[in-house]
């Protein structure tokens, strides 16, 4: 019997079909009670003693090991904390230090803007001829050469779902002597990932999408175990120190992945995430991937049959995309707002992308068909052509 569908484990509002778990996962039912327990019994009763008595200080490593199991990483190679953007900066800064004499960070134009912004900021700090070089996703392979210090790519494109070949790209990067950094924001919990098998040096990711850790849930960073005692953290935070409570004046990096910790861990958010991660204990990622592809293929077939106004923006070959499907429509923002108003929640990405995520933990074939029927009604009857749907909110 399948262990993938766990719809009963989530809070899913009545009358809503949620196709936006690729942006923010829904609330696991067990999370609210556990967080309240942590607040009342641990913070409330233990006070500062909770760092020792409730295991708060070990939580980033403990939860990191849970995430490691989802992304094909060995125990002790992933640690939680801070935001994904901070983890990107950490990985980039450490990567370029591993390749002195090389000055180029290579990425692609499909990468998430925050990753590129962090790279721009690092280049500005380093000066001395460092540069960020971006090319089209399909041009990355030809752009990797012996000038490159680090290649930084998001495995699954946030707009279209287009997927890079992790193993092949990493092998090419290493053949040219560069360091590989993967952003797994749209991979972790969406598809099988084999960090250990890829031999990548670094990976980062967030936990509020497919891992259902909640808004603002902390990011994670992976460092290949043979490098963990070698990398030099640019953000030398006190909890990355080898003895934080010795309060030494100068920084001495901690052991292994612990040195990639920076500041005080967000205990409340980590508690919610830890509950969410428990749902993955019996999920087979290959089975989840197969279920995801089946839902996506059904959605594409039914949309293309019934909603000709939309044009597929995602790769047609399921092996080349992650766990989302995107369609283009000139009035995509208004159309998405009209669809949301009728109980199907997806989202919009500029300039014209209507984006839908497929998460088999709480979606099934019936949900897909119901969603398509609503989208068809909105498009066929131009229900989107209303001024109330055209005024853009701060979050799209």
* Domain match, 236 and 340 both: no
Query: Side-chain half-sphere of 28: how many Cα atoms within 13 Å?
Result: 24
| CA–CA gap between residue 119 and residue 277 (Å, rounded) | 30
* Domain match, 12 and 35 both: no
Which of 236, 261, 278 marks a domain boundary?
278
pLDDT at 3 over 80: no
Pairing of strands 131-135, 104-108: parallel
| Whether pTM exceeds 0.95 | yes
What's the pLDDT tens digit per position in 152-164? Answer: 999 999 999 999 9
Measure CA 66 to chain center: 15
What's the pLDDT tens digit per position in 69-100? Answer: 999 999 999 999 999 999 999 999 999 999 99
What end-to-end distance do the CA atoms of the chain give, in Å?
A: 38
328 three-state secondary structure: strand
Residue 395 falls inside a structural domain: no
Q: How confident is the model at residue 396 (pLDDT cuts 50, 70, 90)?
A: confident
Q: Using an 8 Å Cβ cutoff, are 379 and 335 in contact?
A: yes
DSSP letter, residue 10 = B
Pairing of strands 179-183, 148-154: parallel
Q: Which domain holds residue 262?
A: 30-278
* Domain match, 126 and 264 both: yes
* Domain match, 195 and 174 both: yes
Q: Using an 8 Å Cβ cutoff, are 262 and 244 in contact?
A: no
pLDDT at 304 over 80: yes
Domain count, the chain: 2
pLDDT at 233 over 60: yes
* Domain match, 122 and 271 both: yes
- For the chain, the average pLDDT equals 97
Which of 221, 253, 278 marks a domain boundary?
278
Residue 396 falls inside a structural domain: no
* Domain match, 72 and 189 both: yes
Q: What are the residue numbers of the active site?
A: 112, 183, 208-209, 355
C-alpha distances (whole Å) from 171 to each of 180, 184, 197, 288, 300 are: 9, 18, 11, 26, 33
* Domain match, 365 and 219 both: no
pLDDT at 346 over 90: yes
Q: How confident is the model at residue 186 (pLDDT cuts 50, 70, 90)?
A: very high
Residue 394 falls inside a structural domain: no
Residue 95 falls inside a structural domain: yes
Q: What is the CATH number of the domain that holds 161?
A: 3.40.640.10
Phi and psi at residue 28, in whole multiples of 5°? -65, 135
Residue 315 falls inside a structural domain: yes
User: Cβ-count burial of 138 within 10 angstroms (0-12 exposed, 13-18 middle, 19+ buried)?
Assistant: exposed
Q: Using an 8 Å Cβ cutoff, are 5 and 364 in contact?
A: yes
| CA–CA gap between residue 230 and residue 315 (Å, rounded) | 39
pLDDT at 1 over 50: no
- Nearest CA to 235 out of 118, 331, 149 is that of 118
* Domain match, 85 and 171 both: yes
């Amino acid at each position: 019997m399948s262990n993938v569908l766990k719809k009963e484990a989530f809070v899913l509002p009545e009358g809503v079909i949620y196709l936006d778990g690729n942006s923010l996962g829904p609330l696991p039912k067990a999370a609210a009670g556990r967080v309240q327990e942590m607040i009342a019994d641990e913070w409330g009763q233990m006070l500062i003693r909770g760092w020792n008595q409730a295991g708060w200080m070990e939580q980033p490593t403990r939860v990191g090991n849970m995430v490691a199991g989802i992304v094909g990483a060995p125990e002790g190679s992933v640690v939680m904390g801070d935001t994904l953007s901070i983890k990107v900066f950490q990985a980039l800064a450490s990567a370029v230090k591993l390749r002195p004499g090389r000055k180029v960070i290579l990425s692609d134009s499909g990468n998430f803007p925050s990753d590129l912004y962090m790279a721009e900021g690092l280049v500005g700090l380093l000066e001395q001829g460092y540069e960020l070089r971006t090319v089209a996703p399909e041009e990355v392979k030809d752009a990797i050469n012996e000038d490159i210090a680090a290649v930084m790519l998001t495995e699954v494109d946030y707009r279209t779902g287009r997927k890079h070949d992790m193993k092949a790209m990493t092998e090419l990067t290493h053949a040219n002597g560069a360091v590989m950094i993967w952003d797994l924001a749209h991979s972790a919990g969406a598809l099988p990932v084999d960090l250990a098998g890829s031999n990548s040096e670094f990976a980062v990711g967030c936990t509020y999408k497919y891992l259902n850790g909640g808004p603002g849930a902390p990011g994670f960073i992976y460092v290949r175990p043979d490098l963990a005692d070698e990398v030099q953290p640019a953000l030398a935070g006190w909890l990355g120190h080898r003895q934080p409570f010795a309060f030494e004046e100068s920084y001495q990096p901690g052991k292994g992945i612990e040195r990639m910790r920076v500041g005080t861990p967000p205990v409340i958010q980590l508690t919610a995430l830890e509950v969410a991660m428990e749902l993955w204990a019996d999920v087979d990622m290959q089975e989840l991937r197969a279920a995801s592809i089946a839902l996506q293929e059904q959605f594409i077939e039914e949309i293309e049959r019934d909603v000709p106004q939309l044009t597929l923006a995602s790769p047609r070959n399921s092996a080349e995309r992650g766990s989302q499907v995107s369609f283009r429509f000139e009035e995509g923002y208004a159309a998405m707002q009209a669809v949301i108003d009728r109980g199907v929640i997806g989202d919009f990405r500029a300039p014209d992308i209507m984006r839908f995520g497929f998460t088999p933990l709480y979606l099934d074939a019936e949900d897909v068909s119901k969603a398509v029927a609503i989208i068809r009604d909105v498009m066929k009857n131009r229900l989107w052509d209303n001024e109330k749907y055209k005024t853009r909110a701060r979050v799209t």
